[in-house]
Structures are given as C-alpha cells and as structure tokens.
Amino acid sequence: MFRTLTLRGVSGSLNWGYRSAATLTGWSVRRVREDDRAPWRWELEAGYTGPVDSFSLRQRPLLFTAPRRGGFWCWPVQTLHVGETRLIATLGPPEY
C-alpha cells in the first residue's frame, strides 16, 4: 500500500461558509502515513494571490476546495500557518 500520495493543482481556495478567505495557486496535498499502524495525515502547501481575509481564515469550519473533473475536492482545515507568499495546513479527511 502507498505510504504517501500527492495531488497537485493550479487553483483552489480556502472558504469559510460561502466567503472566500484566500485564493490559492500552485497547491499540493500530500497524504502521509508514518507506518501501518499510524493514521493517515493530509498536508496542504500552497501559494496565494491577492488579499487574504484574515478574519475568515481564523473561523471554523474552514474548507480547502479545488476544482477537478466532475466536481471539486474538499477538505476541512484543522491547522493553518500563513506566511508572506505561501501557506501550510493540516487537513482532515476529504469530504465527498
């Protein structure tokens, strides 16, 4: 079985309800598992463009969404660190 899995995309967003908190570019989501007994962990790394809504980024539930063929990906954000040009987040299991 895979110990890691990486998804990549060129556009996405962090959303609080119907409000866009940040527009993302060049994102990657990694599913990582340390060993067979450990739970899966999802990690997001992405760049962002334009202004960021700092208030919305602090609210929960905050979701990472990205378009895909036939719909979109959607993960709940558990932790978030926002840098000057990039952000890193820990995600919950994907929602379908």
Residue-wise pLDDT tens digits, 39-61: 888 999 999 988 889 999 999 99
Query: Per the confidence metrics, is the pTM higher than 0.75?
Result: yes
What token pair was written down for 31?
């599913």
| Sequence-ordered list of residues with C-beta below 8 angstroms from that of 45, at least 6 positions apart, any chain | 27, 28, 30, 86, 87, 88
Domain that holds residue 44: 4-91
Q: Is residue 55 part of a domain?
A: yes
Specify the number of domains making up the chain.
1
Mean pLDDT of 56-67: 95
Q: Is residue 96 part of a domain?
A: no
Q: Is residue 23 part of a domain?
A: yes
Q: Is residue 50 part of a domain?
A: yes
Q: Is residue 77 part of a domain?
A: yes
